[in-house]
Structure 1
Amino acid sequence: MATGEEAQGKAPLLEPSQGAGTSSSLQTLGNIVVSIVGTGILGLPFAFKVAGWLPGSLGVAIVGLSMHYTMNLLVRCRSRLEADGSMDVLTFGDLAEKALGMPGRYLTETLVLISQSGGSVAYLIFIGQNLSSLFKFYSLDFSLFIFLLVPIEIALSWIRSLSSLAPFSAFADLCNVLAMAIVVREDLQLFSGFSNAKAITTLKALPFAGGVAVFCFEGFSMTLALEASMVQRENFYRILSLAFSGITLVYIIFGFFGYLAYGDQTRDIITLNLTNSWSAMAVKIGLCVGLTFTFPIMMHPIHEILEKKMREVGWVKKVCNDVDRGERIGVYMLRSVMVLVLAIIASFVPGFGAFISLVGSTVCALLSYVLPSLFHMRLLGSDLSLRRKVLDGFILVLGLVFAGYGTLSALSTS
C-alpha cells in the first residue's frame, strides 16, 4: 500500500487518485500521447501495403474518429454516475461493474489483461526481431534475444513505485521520438512518387489494416485515469480532441510514406527495411532501449489486476496481514512469472503484423467499441435521444462484426 506522499508522486495516467487531479492541460496532452502511441505505429506501413494506401489512410482516420467518440462515452458514463453520487469509479473495471455487475467487471478486466499482455508481447517481438536483424550474420533466432531480455525486465518489474520509473520513461520517450524522426527522414529520401505503391489492393484486406489501426490506439483502457488526473477535468474533451487529431495525422503520414518508400518490399516492422548503416543501427538500438524501459509501464495494469486478485485469496490475505515480507515476496514472484510467460508467448509468434492485427481485431475492438457503447446505453439509456441510441447500437454491432471478421482476416494473412 502506497503512502500518501508516494501516491502523489506517481504518474497520474496510471495511478488516478480519488481526490483532485494534479495534471495541467499540457501534462494531460502529453500523457494521452504517451499512453496511446506505441509499437503499433511501426506496423502501419505494412498495413498500408496489405490494404493499399487509400484504404489504409481512410481506415486510420475512421478508427481515430470513432475511438475518440467512444472514449468520450466512458467519460460521460462516469460523469453521470458521479452526478448520482457514485464517486468510486476509478477504472474501466469499476465502470463495468456499475453498468453490468460483477460479471461485467470480470469480463472487462479479463479483456484489459489480454490487451495489455498483447501490447507487452508486441514490445518483446519488436525488440527480439530488431536485435536479430542487427546480428543477422550470426544467424541468431529472435527468441534468443527475447529470453536474454527477461532478467532485465524482471528486475524492472520489481520497481513497485511508478515515480521511480519516471526517469526511465522520459528516456524511453526521447529514444522513441528520435528514432521515429530518423525513420521518417529515410522514408522521405527513398520516396520516388506513387509508381511503386497501390492505392487499393483488395477490400478483403481492409479488416486486417483496421485491426492494426485499432491496436495503434492501445492506451484506450487508460481513459478514465487520464481524465481523473486533470486539475480542470472539464477541459478533457478539448484536450482529447487535440491529441487525437495530431496522433491520427501522424499515423497516416507515417504509414503513407513508409509504404511509398518501400512498396511491396515493406516489412511488418518498418525498421527491418532499414539498411545496417550507422543511422539505421542507431534507430533500432534506440527503439529497443526505449521499449525495454517502457515495458514495465505497459505491464503495470496487468500487475495491478493480478495482485488485487491475489490478495483476495484467503490464505494469501492471511499471510499478507501477518507478514509484510510475505506479500512482497508474493508480488515479486507473480511479476517474475508474468514476464517469463509473456516472453515464452512472444517467442512463438510468427509475425509482428499479423499478431498486432489479431489483438486489435479482437480484444481491442471489444474494449474500444463494444463495451463503451454498451455501458453508455445501460447507464444513460433513458436520457438518450433516438439518434444516440441508434449510433450506440450501430457501433456495438459493428464492433462485434469487426472482431469476428477481423480475426479471420488476421489469421488468414499470417
Structure 2
Amino acid sequence: MEDKGSETLPLIKSSSSSSARGTASVAQTFGNIIVSIVGTGVLGLPFAFRIAGWLAGSIGLLVAGVFTYYCMLLLVQCREKLASERESAETATYGDLGYKSMGPAGGYLTESLIFLSQFGGSVAYLVFIGQNLESVFKGHGFSMASFIFLLVPIEIPLSWIGPLSAFAPFSILADICNVLAMAMVLKEDIQQVVRRGFSFDGRKAITSNIGGIPFAGGMAVFCFEGFGMTLALEASMKKKGTFPKVLALAFSAIALLYLMFGIFGYLAYGDETRDIITLNLPQNWTATAVQVGLCLGLVFTFPMMLRPMNEIVEGKLKRCAWFWKPYHNNDDGSITALGKLGIYISRAVLIMGLAIIASFIPGFGVFSSLVGSTVCALISFVLPASFHLKLLGPSLNFWQKSLDILIVFFGLLFGAYSTYNTIVGVSA
C-alpha cells in the first residue's frame, strides 16, 4: 500500500511491506497516541518555561516534538525494512530492533535503557505524588519522603496483581483526574493572566542562564517520550499507511497543549512558578480535591508503570540456572510456590528501591529534566537514528545519512551537557 504520508516527508522512504493487519481506526489510534504520551510531566512545563524563558521554552518544545516525531517514523521504517526480509514476527518490539540492528550488545543496551527510562519515570511519579501530598497536608509534620514511604505497603501488594485488566477502572480514574487537573490549571492560569493583564512584561523571553535552555529541553523530551508504544501503535492500525499523518496530527495537538501549559503557567506566576504547577493553585477544596484525586489515580496505576521493569527482571531471573529449578515444576512446567515467592520478592525489592531513591530527589522538575535529557534522549533520538543508519545505510542518500548522524551527535551532546548542567545545579 502506498504511504501517502511520505509525500510530505522527503527524508522518510515508505515501504510497501506490511505486517499482520491491525483493527484500530484512525480515531482510535489518535486517541491512543495522546494517552500514551500525555501524562503528569505536562504539569512541570511552566517551571521549565520559567527556567528557560517563554520564547526559548517554546522553541525547545517544538524542536523536541519535531525530532521525536521524525525518530518515531525512523523506528517504523526500520521495522518495515526487516518485515520486507520476512523477519517481522521476530521484530515486534523496540528491544528486538536493537538486537537485529546491533546484535546481542545492541539488544542488551536497548533493554537496559528502556529499564532505566521506566525506572526514572517511576521515581518521578513517586516524587510527584509525594510533593503534592506534602502540599495538601502541609503543617501535619509529614515530609515528601514520609508520604513516599507510606506508599510502599500499598504498592507492593498491588504489584502482585496478575492481570492488567484489574487496573482498568483505576486507569480511567487517573485519566479523568489528569483531564480535570489540566483543565483547572489552565482555568486558574488564564484567570491570573487576565487579572494582571495579558502582557509579557516581567517575564523572560530567553534566560540569561545558558543552563536553563537544556533544562527545558530535557523536560520537553521527558514529556514527549513514548517510544515504547510506537511500534505497537503502528502495528495496531487497520490502515498502516496513514500512521505518519495520524502521528503528525496527534503531535500537533500535543504540542499546542504543551505550549498553552508552559506559556500561560509562566505568565500567571512568573518567578513564583513551582516545579509542579498544581502547587501554585489556591488552597481551596477544589484544588485539594484535584491534587488528591490525581495522586490517588497514580497510586493505583503505578503498578502498570512497573510492569515493563518487572518483565525484564523476571525474564533475567528465569534464565538463571539457580532460579530455574525452584521456579518450575518438573512434572508439568508450571510455576511452583517457591517460584512465585521469588517473583513477589523481586517486585517488592524493586518498589523499595524506587522509594529510597525517590526520597532523595530534590524536586520533580529537576529530576524529570535529568531523565529526559539522558535516557529519554538516548531512546528518543540516538538509538532510532543509529538503527536507521545500520539497517538502511546503503539505501539512504547523503542528506538522510547526514541528518541521522547529526541526530546521533547532538543527542549525545545534549545528554552529556544536560547531565553536567543538572549535577552542578545550574538549573536549580
Which TM-score tier does this pair reach, normalised by the shorter chain?
over 0.9
Question: In structure 1, what is the equivalent of residue 205 of structure 2?
Answer: 199
Aligned to 1:341: 353
Cα distance in 2 between the residues matched to 1:155 and 1:181: 33
User: How far apart, in 2, do the equivalents of 1:333 and 1:22 lie?
Assistant: 38
1:338-361 CA distances to partner (integer Å, 9 max, x unpaired)?
A: 111101110110121111111111
Q: Which runs of 5+ in 2 are unaligned?
A: 1-18
Aligned to 1:24: 25
User: Which whole-Å CA distance do the structure 2 matches of 1:318 and 1:197 have between them?
Assistant: 64
Distance 1:378 1:107 in 2: 15
Which residue number corresponds to residue 271 of structure 2? 264
94 and 157 in structure 1: CA distance in 2 versus 1, 3 angstrom threshold: same
Mapping of 1:237-256 within 5 angstroms?
237-256=244-263
Q: TM-score, normalised by structure 1?
A: 0.93
Q: Which range moves more in the overlay, 310-319 or 336-345?
A: 310-319
Q: Distance in 2 between matches of 1:154 and 1:26?
A: 36
Amino acid at match of 2:271: D
Q: Secondary structure at the match of 2:204?
A: coil
Q: What amino acid is aligned across from residue 369 of structure 1 in structure 2?
A: F
- Higher mean alpha-carbon deviation, 159-168 vs 178-187, is at 159-168
1:95 aligned partner: 97
Q: Note if 1:180 corresponds to 2:187.
A: no
Measure the CA separation in 1 of the matches of 2:22 and 2:312. 22
Structure 1 residue aligned with 2:150: 148
Cα deviation digits, residues 355-414 of structure 1 (max 9, x gap): 111111111111111110000000000111111000101111010110111111222223
Q: Distance in 2 between matches of 1:126 and 1:212?
A: 14
- Mean Cα deviation higher: 136-145 or 55-64: 136-145
Quote the Cα distance in structure 1 between the aligned partners of 2:251 and 2:86.
31
Quote the Cα distance in structure 1 between the aligned partners of 2:347 and 2:22: 29
Structure 1: stretches of 5+ with no match in the other structure: 1-17
Deviations 1:76-109 (A, max 9, x none): 0000000011021121110000000000111111
* Equivalence for 1:330: 342
Deviation at 1:275, TM superposition (A): 2.1
Deviation at 1:300, TM superposition (A): 1.6
8 Å Cα contact 2:278/2:291 also seen in 1: yes
Contact 2:177-2:293 at 8 Å conserved across structures: yes
Contact 1:119 1:218 in 2 (8 A): no
Alignment-derived partner of residue 397 in structure 1 = 409
Is contact 1:46-1:268 (8 Å) kept?
yes
Structure 1 residues 409 and 275: CA distance shift in structure 2, 3 A: same
Between the aligned partners of 2:105 and 2:142, the Cα distance in structure 1 is 45
- Contact kept, 8 Å, 1:221 with 1:367, in 2: the verdict is no
Q: Hey, what does 2:39 align to over in structure 1?
A: 38
Report the TM-score, using the length of structure 2 for normalisation.
Answer: 0.90
Residue number among 111, 114, 118 corresponding to 1:112 in the alignment: 114
Per-residue CA deviation, residues 115-149 of structure 1 (Å, 9 max, x unaligned), is 11111111110111110111111231111111111
- Match of residue 57 from structure 1: 58
Looking at structure 1, the residues matched to 99 and 403 of structure 2 have their Cα atoms a distance apart, in angstroms, of 23
Per-residue deviation, 1:331: 2.1
Q: Aligned partners of 1:298 and 1:240: how far apart in 2? A: 23
Deviation for aligned residue 1:294: 2.5
Query: Given that residues 207 and 213 in structure 2 are in contact (C-alpha distance below 8 angstroms), is that contact kept between their aligned partners in structure 1?
Result: no
The amino acid across from 2:342 in the alignment is G
Partner amino acid, structure 1, of 2:120: G
Cα contact 1:196–1:264 (8 A) shared by 2: no
Which residue does 1:13 correspond to in 2? none
Deviation per CA, 1:15-56, whole angstroms, max 9, x where unpaired? Answer: xxx954343322222221121112211111011000100000
1:240 alignment partner, SS class: helix
Single out whichever of 229-238 and 211-220 deviates more from structure 2. 229-238
Amino acid at match of 2:179: V
Partner of 1:69: 70
Which residue of 1 is the match for residue 306 of structure 2?
Answer: 299
Give the partner amino acid of 1:75.
Answer: V
Instruction: Using the TM superposition, give the Cα deviation of residue 278 of structure 1 relative to its aligned residue in structure 2, in angstroms.
Output: 1.3
CA drift at 1:172 = 1.0
Runs (4+) of structure 1 exceeding 4 A deviation are: none
Rounded to whole Å, the distance in 2 between the matches of 1:274 and 1:143 is 22
Equivalent in the alignment of 1:129: 131
Partner AA of 1:183 in structure 2: V
Q: Identify if the C-alpha distance between structure 1 residues 22 and 305 changes in structure 2 by more than 3 Å, giving closer, same or farther.
A: farther
Measure, in 1, the Cα distance between the counterparts of 2:298 and 2:249: 25
Please identify, of 188-197 and 63-72, the stretch whose mean Cα deviation from structure 2 is larger: 188-197
8 Å CA contact 1:215–1:356 kept in 2: the answer is yes
- Contact persistence 1:54–1:200 (CA under 8 A): yes
% same residue: 56
For the 8 Å contact 2:171–2:301, the answer to whether it is kept is: yes
Find the structure with the greater CA-based Rg: 2
Q: Which residue of 2 aligns with 1:371?
A: 383
